[in-house]
Structure formats: C-alpha cells, structure tokens
C-alpha cells in the first residue's frame, strides 16, 4: 500500500446537531471470507473489526479487493471485506465512513441472508458505491433506501496488486425524515446588475443533498430559477426552505468595472525571465518565447474567448471571458529548475482565489487567496514544475478577468561589474546598412547586450558571453558616412566603456536584371516583363506601408514596418505550367521573408514559405520551387499573392516578382496540319489559316510557304490569310520553308458575297442585306454594324425591315461613344429571312466616314444583346447593358433575391432599383471595390464578386426591409463585416408578430416581448420578458400595444450575412415541441405551426417567411397560444391565494372559469392572455 494515502472523512458536522440512530453500534462485525493475517503491519483482529462501528475510531482494518491484479497475494495481506449483522432487517437511511485509500473504491450491499464461509453473497442488493478514494473531493454521505439484516462492504478492483483501503469507521444510520440542515452557494461573490448562474446545494441532517421540494429566495437581488441578479452593492441573503425549515447563506454583491489603469511594470531583468505574456518582455498574445502558445491543453479550455485590449497609453493586456488563461508548450519551453518563481498580475471582478497549474494534472495546483476584486493583484507562485507543459492561471468562481505580466523568473543576483567589450569593428558596409563584428565578456551573465548608436538612434542585439557575433544595422541613409558608438551591457545593466567606429553606407542600386525568356514567365511585378494582371494591395490588417521608388530605369517597392502584404489580382493566374516563383529582396536588417501564392481551390490554399537566408544590405535573388508549396496548381488558379514573416519593424525592398519555367528544348517539326475556323469564305472576304505541328503547337507563318491551287477562286498571302475571288472550290497548301516535303493541305469553298450597302440617289436611304437573329422576344430583331471610321449624323434615323407584303413600323438605333458601332433594334411581325433587306431613312446629311459597300455588314454570328436568365432566386444579366435596358431587366428579373451583372458589359451609367426591396445587385471587382464595368452600376444593396467571395461594396450597408412581400433568399454568404447590415420590420398597431432578426435590437417601449417557455401537444406558453433587448437569431413574439404602427430597426451588425439555410430548432417543454426561427422563407407540409389570428395554426403549402418563428410537434386544427404577463396584481375578492395555484383558470375577480376562450385570466398565480 502507498505510504502517502489520502484521508477521507465522511462524517458530517450536521450530525452533531441532529443525532440519527447508529444501527451498527455494538453489532458484530465479521470478516468476509474468513480472517487473514496481515503480514507487514500486524494482524486484523476480531477486536479491531468491532471498533469500526464506533465514531472516531482510530484503529485500522486493512482490506483488499476481491478481484485485484494479484488476488492470491492480496489474500495474504488482509481481508476481502466485512459484513455486519444488524440482528434483524432494518431500514437504512444513510451510510458514512472514514477511510484511507489508494486507487481503490468499495461497493456496499444489503441482504437478508448471511454471507457464505467463502464470502459469496445470496440475494444481495447494491445500495451504495464509494469511488476511488484518491479523488480530491467526495460526497461524504451516501443516501440509502433499502432495508436488510446484513450490510456487506467489498473493496473494488485496485490498479496495483498491493493497493487497497484502511477502514477506521463504518456507520449505518437509521432512515428518518430529512431535515434541512445546511446550504452551500456558489459563487459567493456576484456583480451588481449582471445575471449570474448560481449553484445551490441544500443538505439534510445526514449530509444527503436534497434535490426536490426545496425553494430558494433572495434579498437585495432578483432570483429567477437559479439565475440571480443583484440589485445593489452589499450582502445578498439566499434562503433555502424545506418542509417549513429555512437556512440562510450570505454572499456579496460588488460593483466592479473594467480596469482604467495599467498594472505596475515588473522589475525582473529580461535575461532572468521566460514570458508567457508580457509586453515588458516582448511577448504578445500571438507570439512565442520561445514556444509558449495561447490556448489548448488540459484541463479543457477555461475561457470562451481571449483578446488583447488597450488600457492606458496604448498598453495592452489580456481580457479573458472565462475562468482561466491557459498557455501550452512542449518540455517547458526552456523553463529549468532555476526559474523558481511564477509572476502574474490579475484584475478579477469577483474572485478572491487564484490557482496556478504547471502540468495537465488538474489536481496539482498552487493556490493564492486574498485577491481583491476591482484592482490589480500581483501574485508570485513557487515553481514546483521544473519543466511545465502548461502555464495555467485559474480564478476560482470567476467568469471574466484581465491578465498581464505572466512569466517565469530566476532570482536576481547582485553584480556591479561591467562587461569588457573585446571587439567592436565594421565587417562590411551595404546598401543603407552596416554589419558589425562584436564580442564581449562578463563575469556572471550568460548573455551580453550590445547597444549601437548612430548618433540619433539605438540598435540593440544580444550574444553569448565571450562569443563573437555579427549584427547588421539597417534602415540607414544611403551613401552616408556614420560614426557609431558601441557599448556592451550585462543582465544587471552594467555597461562597458563606449568604442567608436566609422563606416559609409552604399547607394541604393537597381535589382539584378532577370534572365528568363518572356515566353517562360508569368510576371506580377517587374520592369523586364509585361504584368499578367493588375493588382491592389489587400486591406488585410497589415502594418506594412508601400512606397514605389525608381533607381535609374528600374521600379522597386519599399516595404516599411513590414509584417505581411497581400496582392489581390484582377486576373487569376494559371500557374500549372510554371516551376518556380522568383523574387529579388533587399533587406535593411537581419530578417526573414516568406512568400506564397493563394489559390482558388485545393487544400491547403496557401502555404507561406521562407525565401531562404538573406544577406542584409544587398540584393538577394531567390527562386523557390512551386512543388515546395504543396498547392493544387493543376486544378486551381492563383487569385492572390502574399509576402509575410516580418515582425512589423523591418524595412525591405522587393522587385522582380514573377513565376517561370525552364526553357524547353526546340521542337523538330516532323508533320503539320492546316486548320481554319470554317471551310468556306465569301467572295471579297478573308479567312485566316492556322498551321500546327505534331505536338499541336502553332507553327509561325514566318516558317511556312503558302500556295493556292486555284488563284482565280482564292488567293493566300504569306501570313496564311485566304481571300475569296470567285465562287468555286480551292485547295490551299502549307509547307515548311526548311523542308518542303513536310506539308499539308486544306480544301475550301468560296461562296457568293451578300449584298452589303446600296445608297439611293439622295444619299439618305441605305439598303443592308444579311443575317437577322432573335433578340429578347419572338418579334424583336437586332443588327450590329461596325466601322473603322466615325459614323456621324444618324441621330433620329428611322430603321425598318421590309419583306413581302408585311407592313413595317419604326425602331431605334444607338451609336457607340466612339461612333464606330451602330446598334439597331428592328421590329417585324414575321421573322426575317436571311436575305430580308433593311432600309434606313435618315433625315439630313449623313457622314459614314470613308467606307464603301463592304464595310457595313450584318453580324453573322453570336448574340450581342442584353439577356436576363432567371434561375430560382437569381437573375443573371449578360450582353451589353445601356440605360434603356434597365426597365426591361427589372421587369424580367421580377421578385428574385439577386440580380447578377458580373458577366454583363455595362456601356453607360445605370441605376437599378429591384422589385424585391431586399435584392442584392452583384457586380465584378476586387475586394470591396467594383471594377470599371461594375463602377457604372448604382444600387442600394451593391455587392462585389471577385470570383470567390461576395462582399458588400465600400460604404454600402446591406438593408433588409421586411414588408411580407420582399424576401431575402441568397444562396451565398455576403461579407458585410466592413459597413454591416440592418433589418427593418413594421409591426402594425395592436398586432402580434413573430420575430427572428439577423441582428440584435432594443424593441421600442409599447411593444411587449414574449418568449416560448413551455409547451404541450396542443398549446404553447409564452412568457413576457422584462427586457426589451432581443439578440440576433433569438425567436420571440412581439405585441404592439400602442395605437400606431411601430417601426423596428436592428443595430448595424458587421457580420458575414449567411441566409443560405435555417438553423437548428430548440426544444420547448417536455412534450416534443420544437421552436424554429427562420432566416429564409420555408415551404410547409402541415407539420409547421405559426402565429395567425392570435393562435398557432398549421401551414400546409403556404410559405412561412424569413425572420419568422414556427413550431413543430403540435397537433390539431390549431394550438392555443398562452401569453403569460407575469405576477397577479390588483385582483379583488380573493381570500386565499392558494386557490389560484391549482392550475385552474380564474377571471380577475377570482371566479373560476370552466371553459376559458379569449381574454385575461389567472393561472397558478400569474396573469395570462388567451388569444
């Protein structure tokens, strides 16, 4: 058995007042299975066994499990249990015991048959269980409801063959009526005005917890269930009452606000500290020193959230919402046995005790008491974990606190001897930088601090005692002479004599010129190549600032305060054929730079990777293999690029950012094919040929000879362009100049040219003949005419189709801004044929530019008109859009929730007002900025789509207006975290309305707020709330008690607006009724009940709108809605209030109502409204 055992006393102080009959006193105690000698510590005697039924017995009886890991050895050590003969069957009320244990518990049985000689039991009933005796806390009393003559104690299986228990006292108490004796309350300190979840534990005279029939009240506070809200500072008395017996407990209500002053800065030397969190020692919440990391670990997370907040003078501390702050590392993160202290500053709201845990054994804690809420408390713990895996501070019973200066420390050592600065020399001068060689020795300190001053600023670094180091000072002026003063300091701030050295920095130079061929490069930033995409710098919260500088003819980027920088690309980059990413880096100091493309898909989508070792003060050309990133370049594209790994303090120049591949060996052409877009060409028209080699690569025309087999039908020029001459067939041959035997042919047909343009004698009527095609409806046709010259004087012209005997009516035409394109909408009662002529009557002089008949033709293929395609709740707009198209687009879109212009061409500024007030209008762009196309669109709910994310445009608040007709139904998430969203709902005068807003709101006075609190199969009870505050996605019922309509508008919530699906429901009561709040309209099938005419009715087929409330699990043609308005007030004629607490319905005069319908009634002492 372990030498260090845990003493567990199951005797309660309440027994001193309420004496219960000890059934075991004076009764015979028998060893179970016979008495065995206990070899190591004497023997178990019959006399000792009898003593265990006497209170405060100090002798020991050693017991071991009946089924331990080494049963036979156990049997030689002690007994396998015992039993007590009560003489006759007795009703047992409780069992109490005092014992020492070692990883072993016990089972207690009762039986009316004496155990057999071998210890076996007959007819036994398990009545109690004592679990592992090594637990830190244990319920001292075990309630029992059985009766019997024999009580049997059997140890349970131990985890080690020699472990068991030592029994001192074992008492069975006779069952009697419970009397409330004690009350425990946690927490014992609460904040005024804050709802606090309480734990009440009431116990009887046997120490048994009373779980039913106990009522609780509070003074100086409101108590709803177990939620207590203190109303004033001072004592709060909690009273428990059970069977007319009351017990009080006093707790404290305090008024504590967040700290407004910073904690006192610690004085421990940085060299003697390993910080978990402290700005003093350079450790922020997301940094490591060396590997401490916030969060995770055991015990399970003790906080809901942590954040850094500024108190005074920009000083940051940690704000914890929870009971503790947990930081985890591996192997102690360098904390050795000489770090004998743990320091922390905490600002509690209610807690008076703090615990430190150094590992994941929750029971191993160091405690400090006497904390004062509402002020900074400075705690110092002894470090008993030499290499802790955790640094965990828990404030007992706390739910919110502030923390700072959390660190391990060595004791200070007296030292007044300064280090000796052995070496202080310039190693090299670079571009805006100087590199030094430094060495110093000290009598005590393991590390030496070097301070270099350039005349205006200090630069600090550290090195090992007596070890030479190099250090680069960057960010200096270019091409400037400096005198530097250098000193060395030890851990106790003793400083050496200063030494001066001189150096002149180099001038800023251009980055090395790239050598890759442009055909093998996809460039982002470089003077040597054309950029594959424009970009903007993403607003990602970076500290980096960007300046463009020019050195000679080279443009470079200067990044100051560099931590990271994102390039958001206007065009996604296909990198599947690339092999490397290149960047030239000029750091001004020792630093690390990382780079990663960010992809549209795959896992992961990004992987920041170091560019490698960098030499300060000179250009470093770096190429990183794309294979090292582990990204899906084959199936996705890069839409962003990120530079990172800075600390926010460095200066670095970058240039020549591009992707490249190794140049491939030239292909030897062994075969060619000749292709064209079509196999015919009109007389006077041209057709371009394309020649490819055996690898499907295009062969340049400069490497080919082209010939026509019949020049009278068609000719071909040196570039492979075929021109039709006369109707007929022709064969065109292409051959390699380098080897005429490698050749191929293509056969073409030359067809008659359509009539192009005919001018009448007066020059005002034009006949155009060609192909017509369908636009938006059966009778609407469109023609597009283009010219290389300006076309003037066409305003107010009349266009018409003519065919057969059909009468024609007028239409319109528009001219592009550059006057090089005419768009004609021509109307006909019949579909034009391919050769239907179109006449143009123009009132006035016309200038078509310097063109002839062949320069104005019909568009022969492809639809060039605006088109609106409605799919579900989305209307997609394609083609060119003008202001005249807006009305048609809005009509065609109807009540959809989204109108998408991201694929359309906007030719002029337009304003869109959708029929659905909640509809969003989507345009293309980057981040929250529309592209040049989308910038022409004005709409109230404007959203920018970059191909992946949809974000509310800059300055746009998404406004959701609920008028029962316009419903939002976006099948995508809208990022509205910058400017936010609002929701507006009008509740008519006297109306009831269900309400489930996407953002929190304070409902105006005069509108009552109800929440569902109970339900049966045919009714739901709603309880009036004391507060007008309603949270986001919090289903409630509203009643407008005013005589006017009330407009309710939520706060502006900066969130991701996600209305793609409705959330999970909440169970109400115990009858299987579930409440749901909608965020988008739902279809119904008769199982959904919603508020209508004051009651809950099933909906079958009709939609239940967005931001509403409904229930499932109800039955019948309708379910009753009961609205509980709170406690009864002003009721007359009732002599006995108990009459109103029986579940029956009474009117306000106290008369019972047998069949209540509508009105105000009293039920169980509360006023309710039946609708």
Name the least confident of 23-37, 585-599, 1029-1043, 1047-1061. 23-37
Give yes or no: residues 746 and 704 share one domain.
yes
Q: What is the mean pLDDT of residues 577-598?
A: 94
Name the least confident of 161-175, 630-644, 680-694. 161-175
Name the least confident of 591-595, 664-668, 1131-1135. 1131-1135
* pLDDT of 189 above 90: no
What's the pLDDT score for residue 339?
Answer: 86
CATH number at residue 692: 2.60.40.1080
What letter would DSSP give residue 627?
G
* pLDDT of 829 above 50: no
Of 855, 888, 911, the domain-final residue? 855
Give the highest mean pLDDT range of 97-111, 143-157, 906-920: 906-920
Give yes or no: residues 1000 and 1086 share one domain.
yes
Of 409, 429, 444, the domain-final residue? 409
Q: Does a structural domain hold residue 509?
A: no
Q: What is the mean pLDDT of residues 324-341?
A: 71
616 vs 1092, residue with greater confidence: 616
- DSSP string covering 631-689: --TTT--EEEEEEE---SSEEEEEEEEEEE-PPPPPPPP--EEEEES-SEEEBT-EEEE
- Grade residue 171 by pLDDT with cuts at 50, 70 and 90: confident
Distance of alpha carbon 286 from alpha carbon 318, whole angstroms: 11
Q: Show the tokens assigned to 81.
A: 């249990």
Give yes or no: residues 403 and 433 share one domain.
no
Name the least confident of 3-7, 318-322, 1117-1121. 3-7
Q: Does a structural domain hold residue 965?
A: no
What's the pLDDT score for residue 803?
Answer: 39
What's the pLDDT score for residue 1167?
Answer: 59
Give yes or no: residues 1133 and 1119 share one domain.
no
* Domains identified in the chain, total number: 10
Q: Does a structural domain hold residue 580?
A: yes
- Sign of the alpha-carbon dihedral angle for 1041, 1046, 1051, 1053: positive
What's the pLDDT score for residue 154?
Answer: 80
Of the candidates 306, 345, 346, 343, the one whose C-alpha atom is nearest the C-alpha of residue 322 is 306
- Grade residue 309 by pLDDT with cuts at 50, 70 and 90: confident
Q: pTM above 0.75?
A: no
* pLDDT of 46 above 70: no
Q: Does a structural domain hold residue 729?
A: yes
Distance of alpha carbon 568 from alpha carbon 535, whole angstroms: 5
100 vs 648, residue with greater confidence: 648
Q: 85-110: per-residue pLDDT in tens?
A: 998 888 887 777 776 665 667 788 88
* pLDDT of 596 above 90: yes
What's the pLDDT score for residue 841?
Answer: 42
Q: What is the mean pLDDT of residues 1008-1029?
A: 91
Of 751, 778, 800, the domain-final residue? 751
DSSP bridge partners of 744 = 734
887: CB partners within 8 A, 6+ apart: none
Q: What is the 3-state secondary structure (H, E, C) of 744-775?
A: EEEEEEEECCCCCCEECCCCCEEEEECCCEEC
Give yes or no: residues 499 and 537 share one domain.
no
- DSSP string covering 1076-1141: EE-SS-B--EEEEEEEETTEEEEEESSPBPTT-EEEES--SS-BEEEEEEEE--S--S-S-GGGGG
Q: What is the mean pLDDT of residues 1140-1158?
A: 56
Across all residues in the chain, what is the average pLDDT? 79
Q: What is the mean pLDDT of residues 589-606?
A: 92
What's the pLDDT score for residue 469?
Answer: 95
* pLDDT of 1141 above 50: no
* Host H or E run for residue 74: helix 71-77
What's the pLDDT score for residue 544?
Answer: 94
Q: Does a structural domain hold residue 260?
A: no
Give yes or no: residues 212 and 248 share one domain.
yes
* pLDDT of 764 above 70: no
- Grade residue 386 by pLDDT with cuts at 50, 70 and 90: low
871: CB partners within 8 A, 6+ apart: none
Q: How many CA atoms lie within 13 A of 419 on its CB side?
A: 31
* Host H or E run for residue 48: helix 46-51
Residue 14: is it exposed, middle or buried by C-beta count within 10 angstroms (0-12/13-18/19+)? buried
- Provide φ and ψ at 76, rounded to 5°: -85, -10
Give yes or no: residues 1007 and 1069 share one domain.
yes
- Grade residue 126 by pLDDT with cuts at 50, 70 and 90: confident
What separation in angstroms does the CA of 529 have from each of 524, 549, 570, 688, 1008? 9, 18, 17, 29, 68
Q: 653-681: per-residue pLDDT in tens?
A: 999 999 999 987 777 889 999 999 888 88
* pLDDT of 298 above 90: no
CATH number at residue 492: 2.60.40.10
Give yes or no: residues 871 and 844 share one domain.
no
527 vs 1116, residue with greater confidence: 527
- Grade residue 862 by pLDDT with cuts at 50, 70 and 90: very low
Radius of gyration (Cα) for the chain, nearest Å?
Answer: 44
Percent of all residues in the chain with a pLDDT value above 90, rounded to a whole number: 40
- Grade residue 49 by pLDDT with cuts at 50, 70 and 90: low
* pLDDT of 855 above 50: no
Q: Does a structural domain hold residue 304?
A: yes
Give yes or no: residues 991 and 1090 share one domain.
yes
* pLDDT of 573 above 80: yes
Name the least confident of 125-129, 433-437, 626-630, 727-731. 125-129
Q: What is the mean pLDDT of residues 316-324?
A: 82
Q: Does a structural domain hold residue 510?
A: no
CATH number at residue 398: 2.60.120.260
Percent of all residues in the chain with a pLDDT value above 70, rounded to a whole number: 74
Could you tell me the residue range of the domain that residue 569 belongs to? 518-660
Q: What is the mean pLDDT of residues 493-500?
A: 94
CATH number at residue 606: 2.60.120.430
Contact 202, 245 (CB under 8 A): no
What's the pLDDT score for residue 689?
Answer: 94
Q: What is the mean pLDDT of residues 891-918?
A: 89
Give yes or no: residues 543 and 608 share one domain.
yes
Q: Does a structural domain hold residue 961?
A: no
Give yes or no: residues 69 and 94 share one domain.
yes
What's the pLDDT score for residue 678?
Answer: 84
Q: What is the mean pLDDT of residues 167-174?
A: 78
Contact 153, 98 (CB under 8 A): no
Q: What is the mean pLDDT of residues 675-702?
A: 89
- Grade residue 813 by pLDDT with cuts at 50, 70 and 90: low
- Grade residue 964 by pLDDT with cuts at 50, 70 and 90: low
Give yes or no: residues 567 and 652 share one domain.
yes
What's the pLDDT score for residue 199?
Answer: 92
CATH number at residue 831: 2.40.30
């Amino acid at each position: 058995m372990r030498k260090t055992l845990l003493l567990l006393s199951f005797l309660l102080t309440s027994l001193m007042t309420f004496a219960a009959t000890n059934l075991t006193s004076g009764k015979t105690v028998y060893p179970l299975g016979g008495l065995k000698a206990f070899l190591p510590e004497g023997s178990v005697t019959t006399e000792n066994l009898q003593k265990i039924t006497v209170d405060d017995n100090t002798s020991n009886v050693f017991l071991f499990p009946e089924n331990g890991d080494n049963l036979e050895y156990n049997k030689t050590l002690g007994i396998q249990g015992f039993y007590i003969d009560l003489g006759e069957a007795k009703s047992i009320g409780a069992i109490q015991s005092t014992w020492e244990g070692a990883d072993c518990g016990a089972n207690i049985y009762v039986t009316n048959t004496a155990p057999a000689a071998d210890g076996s039991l007959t007819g036994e009933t398990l009545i109690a269980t004592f679990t592992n005796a090594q637990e830190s806390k244990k319920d001292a009393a075990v309630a029992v409801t059985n009766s019997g003559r024999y009580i049997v104690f059997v140890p349970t299986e131990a985890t080690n063959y020699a472990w068991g228990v030592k029994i001192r006292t074992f008492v069975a108490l006779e069952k009697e009526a419970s009397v409330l004796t004690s009350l425990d309350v946690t927490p014992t300190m609460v904040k005024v005005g804050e709802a606090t979840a309480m734990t009440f534990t009431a116990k009887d005279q046997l120490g048994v917890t009373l779980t039913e029939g106990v009522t609780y009240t509070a003074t100086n506070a409101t108590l709803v269930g177990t939620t207590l809200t203190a109303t004033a500072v001072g004592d709060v008395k909690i009273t428990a009452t059970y069977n007319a017996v009351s017990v009080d407990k006093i707790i404290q209500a305090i008024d504590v606000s967040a700290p407004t002053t910073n904690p006192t800065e610690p004085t421990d030397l940085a060299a003697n500290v390993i910080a978990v969190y402290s700005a003093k020692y350079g450790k922020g919440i997301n940094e490591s020193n060396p590997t401490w990391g916030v969060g995770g670990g055991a015990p399970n997370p003790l906080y809901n959230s942590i954040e850094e907040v500024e108190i005074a003078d920009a000083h940051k501390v940690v704000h914890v919402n929870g009971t503790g702050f947990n930081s985890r590392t591996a192997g102690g993160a360098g904390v050795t046995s000489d770090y004998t202290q743990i320091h922390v500053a905490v600002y509690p709201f209610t807690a008076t005790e703090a615990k430190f845990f150094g590992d994941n054994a929750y029971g191993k804690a160091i405690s400090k008491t006497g904390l004062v809420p509402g002020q900074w408390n400075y705690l110092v713990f002894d470090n008993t974990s030499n290499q802790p895996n955790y640094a965990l501070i828990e404030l007992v019973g706390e739910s919110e606190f502030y923390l700072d200066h959390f660190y391990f420390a060595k004791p200070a050592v007296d030292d007044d001897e300064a280090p000796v600065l052995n070496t202080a020399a310039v190693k090299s001068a670079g571009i805006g930088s100087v590199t030094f060689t430094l060495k110093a020795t000290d009598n005590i300190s393991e590390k030496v601090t070097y301070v270099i001053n350039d005349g205006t600023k200090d630069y600090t670094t550290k090195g090992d005692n007596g070890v030479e180091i190099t250090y680069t000072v960057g960010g200096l002026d270019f091409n400037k002479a400096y005198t530097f003063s250098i000193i060395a300091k030890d851990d106790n701030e003793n400083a050496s004599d200063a030494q001066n050295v001189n150096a002149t920095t180099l001038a800023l130079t251009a980055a090395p010129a790239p050598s890759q061929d442009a055909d093998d490069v996809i460039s982002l930033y470089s003077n040597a190549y054309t950029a594959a995409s424009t970009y903007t710098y993403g607003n990602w919260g970076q500290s980096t600032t960007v300046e463009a500088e020019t050195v000679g003819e080279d443009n470079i980027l200067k990044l100051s305060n560099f931590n990271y920088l994102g390039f958001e690309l206007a065009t996604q980059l296909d990198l599947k054929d690339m092999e490397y990413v290149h960047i030239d880096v000029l750091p001004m100091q020792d630093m690390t730079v990382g780079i990663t493309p960010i992809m549209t898909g795959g896992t992961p989508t990004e992987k920041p990777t170091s560019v490698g070792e960098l030499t300060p003060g000179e250009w470093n050309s770096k190429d990183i293999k794309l294979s090292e990133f582990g990204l899906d370049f084959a199936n996705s594209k890069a839409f962003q690029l990120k530079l990172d790994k800075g600390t926010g303090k460095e200066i670095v120049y970058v240039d020549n950012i591009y992707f490249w591949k190794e140049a491939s060996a030239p292909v030897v052409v062994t075969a060619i094919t000749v292709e064209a877009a079509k196999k015919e060409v009109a007389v006077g028209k041209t057709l371009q040929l394309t020649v490819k080699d055996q690898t499907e690569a295009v062969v340049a025309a400069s490497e080919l000879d082209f010939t026509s087999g019949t020049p009278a039908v068609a000719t071909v020029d040196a570039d492979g362009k075929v021109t039709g001459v006369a109707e007929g067939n022709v064969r065109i041959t292409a051959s390699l100049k380098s080897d005429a035997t490698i050749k191929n042919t293509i056969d073409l047909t030359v067809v008659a040219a359509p009539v192009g343009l005919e001018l009448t004698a007066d020059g005002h009527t034009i006949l155009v003949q060609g192909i017509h095609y369908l636009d938006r409806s059966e009778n609407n046709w469109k023609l597009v005419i283009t010219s290389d010259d300006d076309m003037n004087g066409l305003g107010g012209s009349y266009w018409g189709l003519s065919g057969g005997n059909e009468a024609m009516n007028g239409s319109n035409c528009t001219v592009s801004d550059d006057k090089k394109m005419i768009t004609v909408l021509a109307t006909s009662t019949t579909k034009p044929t391919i050769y239907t002529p179109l006449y143009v009557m123009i009132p006035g002089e016309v200038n078509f530019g310097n063109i002839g008949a062949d320069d104005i033709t019909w568009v022969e293929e492809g639809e060039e008109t605006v088109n609106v395609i409605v799919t579900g709740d989305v209307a997609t707009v394609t083609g060119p859009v003008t202001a005249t198209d807006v009305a048609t687009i809005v009509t065609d879109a109807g009540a959809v929730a989204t109108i998408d212009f991201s694929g359309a061409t906007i030719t002029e500024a337009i304003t869109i007002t959708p029929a659905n007030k909640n509809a969003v209008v989507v345009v293309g762009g980057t981040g929250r900025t529309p592209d040049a196309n989308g910038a022409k669109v004005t709409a109230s709910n404007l959203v920018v789509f970059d191909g992946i994310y949809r974000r509310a445009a800059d300055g746009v608040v998404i406004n959701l207006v609920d008028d029962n007709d316009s419903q939002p139904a976006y099948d995508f998430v809208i990022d509205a975290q910058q400017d936010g969203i609002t929701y507006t709902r009008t509740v008519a005068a006297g109306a009831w309305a269900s309400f489930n807003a996407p953002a929190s709101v304070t409902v105006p006075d005069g509108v009552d707020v109800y929440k569902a609190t109970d339900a049966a199969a045919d009714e739901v009870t709603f309880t009036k709330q004391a507060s007008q505050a309603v949270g986001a996605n919090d289903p409630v019922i509203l009643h407008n008690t005013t005589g006017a309509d009330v407009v309710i508008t939520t706060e502006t919530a900066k969130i991701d607006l996600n209305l793609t699906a409705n959330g999970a429901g909440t169970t109400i009561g115990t009858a299987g009724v579930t409440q749901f709040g909608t965020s988008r309209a739902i279809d119904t099938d008769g199982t959904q009940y919603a508020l209508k005419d004051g009651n809950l009715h099933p909906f079958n087929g009709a939609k239940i709108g967005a931001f509403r409330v409904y229930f499932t699990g109800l039955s019948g043609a309708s379910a009753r809605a009961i609205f509980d308005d709170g406690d009864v007030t002003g009721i007359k004629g009732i002599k006995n209030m108990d009459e109103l607490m029986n579940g029956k319905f009474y009117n306000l005069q106290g008369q019972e109502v047998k069949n209540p319908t509508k009105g105000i009634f009293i039920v169980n002492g509360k006023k309710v409204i039946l609708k």
